[in-house]
Amino acid sequence: MAEPSYSWAYSLVDSSQVSTFLISILLIVYGSFRSLNMDTENQEKDKDGNPTTTSFSNSNSNNSIQTIDSTQALFLPIGASVSLLVMFFFFDSVQVVFTICTAVLATIAFAFLLLPMCQYLTKPCSPTNKISFGCCGRFTLAELLSFSLSVMLVLIWVLTGHWLLMDALAMGLCVAMIAFVRLPSLKVSCLLLSGLLIYDVFWVFFSAYIFNSNVMVKVATQPADNPLDVLSRKLHLGPGVGRDVPRLSLPGKLVFPSSTGSHFSMLGIGDIVMPGLLLCFVLRYDNYKKQASSEAGGTGPAGPSPGRMQRVSYFHCTLIGYFIGLLTATVASRIHRAAQPALLYLVPFTLLPLLTMAYLKGDLRRMWSEPFHTKGTSTRFLEV
């Protein structure tokens, strides 16, 4: 009798899968706390302003922060589908422009990722005064250092096309998007994630029946021409100038090689960012509830909080759900030996435990509509 094959189970502890799990969770946690820190810093700046009724989620003074409303949440999957089709049908025509735009965005995002480290390094030897660059604006030494390092990394990535540099840029994009985009309520979170679940399932499972190809997989894995190579050919610089640069795999995903080098594990940054926005939302709500409870002498927005259930944070519950969903998606892909829409597993495993816990705690109605509406709320960093 033949022994059963458990290769799919052993593949779960492969270095590529472990790396994917750890990095995605770390990016979500780090991005969520960067977002919470930004809210705290912005409210510190606004303390001397109007102390009347404010909204915790919209009281930031940073104009670059984008809050998604219900209409945007409904139309975002449609816009993503249009972009996917453009990349599928016209990739050869727009690949250079798309590569350059991606490189610029990745440069800014990775500089944001490096900024805390650069602030730590320059703090002993640099004043906090900003250096003026005329019409370009004023920047601290830490900001200039992080941007310079980011530019260098992008240039090396363009020259080498190495997967590790692409991963670094993708990490910067993940953290920046989680930190600068806000979900204002549980209602908007459910609308956005449910719509993206349908989007992910359709383009992975059903697009082949219409377009004779898996649109999502083809767009995600298709390399782009290197801009240096295109520039060399346009300027007729000769075969030895700019022609030996590799094609570029764009930083819209994280890839990690297995220990044997036989395959890569891949996870799209949307599968990190979209659940990450939900994690960021519940972290901010946990922080708000803790602050409101301390100000009210042990009572939060929903009244007294006795019992073990009340001591469990929404952030921990949803983060565990994300891990289980990612594990389930990995098992499904190994069993079926085909690409799986990760949001099909991530969305239920994050939203359902969150909704259940919010109902049991009595916070569901408040979290659904106006979770952060309060008077004179001041934020403090929540320890997790």
Annotated catalytic sites, by residue? 200, 271
Q: Where are the alpha helices (DSSP H) in 46-140?
A: 70-122
Give long-range contacts, CB 8 A cutoff, 24+ apart: 52-55: 52/375, 52/376, 53/373, 53/374, 53/375, 53/376, 54/374, 54/375, 54/376, 54/377, 55/370, 55/372, 55/373
Q: What's the start-to-end Cα distance of the chain, in Å?
A: 51
Whole-angstrom distance, CA of residue 191 vs CA of residue 196: 9
CA-based max dimension of the chain: 78
Tokens representing 182 are 């806000």
At position 363, the amino acid (one-letter code) is: D
Do residues 309 and 360 make contact, with C-beta atoms less than 8 angstroms apart? yes
Whole-angstrom distance, CA of residue 372 vs CA of residue 284: 9
Whole-angstrom distance, CA of residue 54 vs CA of residue 344: 36
Q: Let me know how many helices (H) and strands (E) the chain has, helices first.
A: 13, 10
- Residues whose CB falls within 8 Å of the CB of residue 231, separated by 6 or more in sequence, listed in order: 237, 242
Do residues 241 and 7 make contact, with C-beta atoms less than 8 angstroms apart? no
DSSP-assigned letters across all residues of 116-133: HHHHHHHTTT--SPPEE-
Which of helix, strand or coil describes residue 110? helix
Whole-angstrom distance, CA of residue 334 vs CA of residue 328: 10
Indicate the helix (H) or strand (E) that contains 374.
Answer: strand 373-375
A 10 A CB-CB count for 256 gives 22
Which of 321, 253, 249, 250 is CA-nearest to residue 282? Answer: 321
